[in-house]
Structure 1
């Protein structure tokens, strides 16, 4: 079994290197707040909490006519040219006394090396053959924040892994969303971390930069998992770079079952107060000019500067310092009496 695991990890590393290379980089948290300009534009104190990374022009409305690449003065991502915004729900630990606390996060290790971030997530752009970069104004989401049925989720695209190694640099398992990965959040005290993976559709209709449900203008093509994607359907013929989010939730301090709920409810939930079947991610494109297209065309790799595409990187001390004040102001740190849903959060 150990050899099979090591072989799978090595195969993923080889495949990634063979796919005309791929971008893989860290993004620290820009802000944690209840806003969602994609699903709830203009609303403060949206139904659930998000963590947002990327360009600091992020705001409640995010008018698609405005270009984040031109409005942002910094980005919490390592590539200077990437002023896109990426956001996900927040994972909470539910204590048996009824209180909640946000699960801390770390950067990711793996075959391609360690990434450093302050909260936030790691971003992949994985090409497969000739890809067309997103256009200014493009946006999409994957997953369903209200879903409670794991059977309605493709495990190859949205999954969780029990990371039982001592730290993020000791790789566990094979390719993302394979092996024993699950749709639901693992409830196992042996988990040191829980890795969450969100893989976005890689096929576009070639016309609409968005759609009313923020999903219909894109589609998954043939194949599954983090491969860059296979052939696209005739309804969505344009192949995009495959976007993947990876998050490492550090659950080490919650291993004591005496802290877990006594009614059998899960100890880890997302900020909608439901499980992994509701995991979702939002994306608003904001790369400068044609830099992403040039990155795909020139085989730019991992989180390395790429002169051929004009890509430059910044140290973690710089991108982690790019933050933004909450627009929906509430205290979301420390133990909370209740999940931040509806009314403002209350400290325990």
Structure 2
């Protein structure tokens, strides 16, 4: 089924849309201060992340390890996907200077509602013939230290203000178009904020990683969630386009009297920085060649696909795949300060 057909009436994508895409939910595996991509081996990394995927996730993540064989479960709906995906956590800053995590809910849209317990929705969008990621592949999208929205291409990382607590009916066009912004919206009319992170789709064909976790990949000529477009000669191998979507429920913070009196932003990520610092990390961990077969055989949405051997778990099963914090600290409830540097302190 073509995405253009699925999105009829919602104008999700241009007619050149991919013929199919995997679109599936992943619940939270753990929320903790680890980052085996940027800070391997470190506990209590500079900021907090939410991690989803296979439970083989650990502080070091040896690239020679086959995550699919080491994971006993995955918090994603596809049983064969033991990859790990993680992002920063959004916090609300109150007038008295305390912070609390913004709740997350499942994302809907023209393709239907997905169930998550926290976490995010995953997309793998092919455009023509694509080469699936290899064992040991990893990459990073975005810059956790960036404060300048002009340094972010809005078609790759963006936020959308939802003025209702329901995303049905779906309102708006393709991800990262229209009124979407790089900054996190600061408008009491917003009841939900959707965050989108789109990864590069072109690979140099040699390196599974690079020192900055970005140089071995590149964005193609396409824009937004289109599958990526033509690749540059430096990065000639076309990859499936990975997109993260997260729905932050800000409805209980809509009363502006709760907001900071110094006119600072009410919503920040766990680095204590706003939307320009949004970022996502990816470590590949699909079983065998299941992802390549899924891309080659038109597997689509959150559906079982016998041609690729893909099976779908029920929400109760993938919700139950959780992991104890490897850097233990209490990050729920109201905090005096964000957990950066020192351990989190309860308000």
Q: Give the shorter-chain TM-score range.
A: over 0.9
Map of 1:9-158 to 2, 5 A cutoff?
10-12=10-12, 19-158=18-157
Q: Secondary structure at the match of 2:276?
A: helix
Aligned to 2:4: none
Aligned to 1:320: 319
Q: How many residues align?
A: 341
CA RMSD of aligned residues (A): 1.2
Structure 2 length normalisation: TM-score? 0.97
Q: Secondary structure at the match of 2:197?
A: strand
Aligned partners of 1:305 and 1:14: how far apart in 2?
27
Question: Does residue 1:172 correspond to 2:171, yes or no?
Answer: yes
Aligned to 1:198: 197
Contact 1:164 1:172 in 2 (8 A): no
Structure 1 length normalisation: TM-score? 0.96
Q: How far does residue 220 in structure 1 lie from its aligned partner after superposition?
A: 0.2
Aligned partners of 1:320 and 1:192: how far apart in 2?
25
Aligned to 1:277: 276
Aligned to 1:338: 337
Aligned partners of 1:15 and 1:312: how far apart in 2?
30
Contact 1:15 1:227 in 2 (8 A): no
Aligned partners of 2:14 and 2:156: how far apart in 1?
20
Aligned partners of 1:336 and 1:10: how far apart in 2?
40
Contact 2:10 2:172 in 1 (8 A): no
Aligned to 2:236: 237
Q: How far does residue 9 in structure 1 lie from its aligned partner after superposition?
A: 5.5
Map of 1:3-14 to 2, 5 A cutoff?
10-12=10-12
Aligned to 2:3: none
- The runs of 4+ residues in structure 1 deviating greater than 6 Å are none
- Unaligned regions of 5+ residues in structure 1, if any? 1-6
Q: Deviations over 1:166-219 (max 9, x none)?
A: 313331211000000000000001111000000000000000000000000000
Q: Secondary structure at the match of 1:294?
A: helix
Aligned partners of 2:331 and 2:282: how far apart in 1?
23
Aligned partners of 2:13 and 2:213: how far apart in 1?
32
